[in-house]
Structure 1
Amino acid sequence: MNEKFLKVDDVMQILGISKSAAYNIMRQLNNELKEKGYAVIRGKISRKYFEERFYGMTEAV
């Protein structure tokens, strides 16, 4: 699970939420990245961006 991108199952496990809720969060975060001009991969979210938005972390430990 140390990859650069998280999949829906990873988000579900980390946050303890349902699959539909995880997809909604991933969609929201990917839309934020798109608005900033980044390319995104549908069904995946950048681990770094996810951690920044949820934990305020700028670097994974």
Structure 2
Amino acid sequence: MTANKNVITADEIAECLGVSKSSAYKIMHTLNKELKAKGFYTVAGKLSRRYFEEKFYGVQSAEEGE
């Protein structure tokens, strides 16, 4: 099975931010709730990598920056 680079998991969030896995799940839940409020579909236990990077690092894709 190939890894999906479009989504990020709680394990990856915990590693990136240096937080516990339970804290990573709380962050994921909060961000998924924001996405759902904007009308996007979400999947429990997964989060859009792009949205995570945008919220934590201020990274925008080339299309959004133009």
Q: Give TM-score scaled by structure 1 length.
A: 0.91
Partner of 2:39: 37
Partner of 1:3: 5
When the two chains are superposed, the root-mean-square deviation of aligned CA atoms in Å is: 1.7
Partner of 1:17: 19
Q: 2:30 is aligned with what amino acid?
A: Q
- Structure 1 moving runs of 4+ over 4 Å: none
- SS of the aligned residue for 2:47 comes to strand
CA distance in 2, matches of 1:2, 1:58: 19
Distance of aligned partners of 1:5 and 1:31 in 2 relative to their CA distance in 1, 3 Å threshold: same
Q: Which runs of 5+ in 1 are unaligned?
A: none
Q: Give TM-score scaled by structure 2 length.
A: 0.85
1:2-60 CA-partner distances (Å, limit 9, x unpaired): 7100011100100000011000000000000000000001001000000000011013x
